[in-house]
Homo-oligomer: A and B are copies of this chain.
């Protein structure tokens, strides 16, 4: 599952073969099918892995006493990951974008949406605790800014974009 999450993030779902993931996990290709009946099952596992990552991050942030500090630390974490974002984009965002282009699709696209929804809800909770007006609108702005800066940093292969936008978001959080 860890190998699947990493390889799928780097190569995208469609360009990743079972053989790629098997090689990364150091198991024979055919062996994978003992644990995952189809490729989509593996993609779902990769999504779950990213979900766990997200959960660990917010759990860690929750230990901070002040909601504003939690949000600023979240932004700091994004900026810290700038090299990865500039190379491969936000794992959840790029995955959601790719899966969203599938027609019917076994619900994997909705699963990716749920991950982003989880992040949005957590951020909204922080704004709510700060008793700011329109907390869900603010959450949309913050998470949207993250997705946008990740995409631009990735498209232009420029990690500095993450730093610059991170500074702007931090100032914005302070001014709210």
Contact = CB atoms under 8 A, between A and B. Distances in A.
- Copies of this polypeptide in the complex: 2
> By DSSP majority rule, is chain A's interface helix, strand, loop, or mixed?
helix
Interface stretch (A33-41, A56-64, A88-96): A88-96
Nearest to A101: B12
A93 B140 contact: no
Given A147-B148, A164-B137, A155 B100 contact: yes
Interface stretch (A22-30, A42-50, A68-76, A109-117): A109-117
A117 B156 CA distance: 8
B97 A89 contact: yes
Interface residues of A, number: 42
Given A141-B165, A151-B96, A161-B140, A103 B156 contact: no
13 contacts: A11-B103, A15-B101, A89-B101, A93-B151, A96-B155, A97-B155, A100-B155, A100-B157, A109-B155, A112-B155, A141-B165, A147-B151, A148-B149
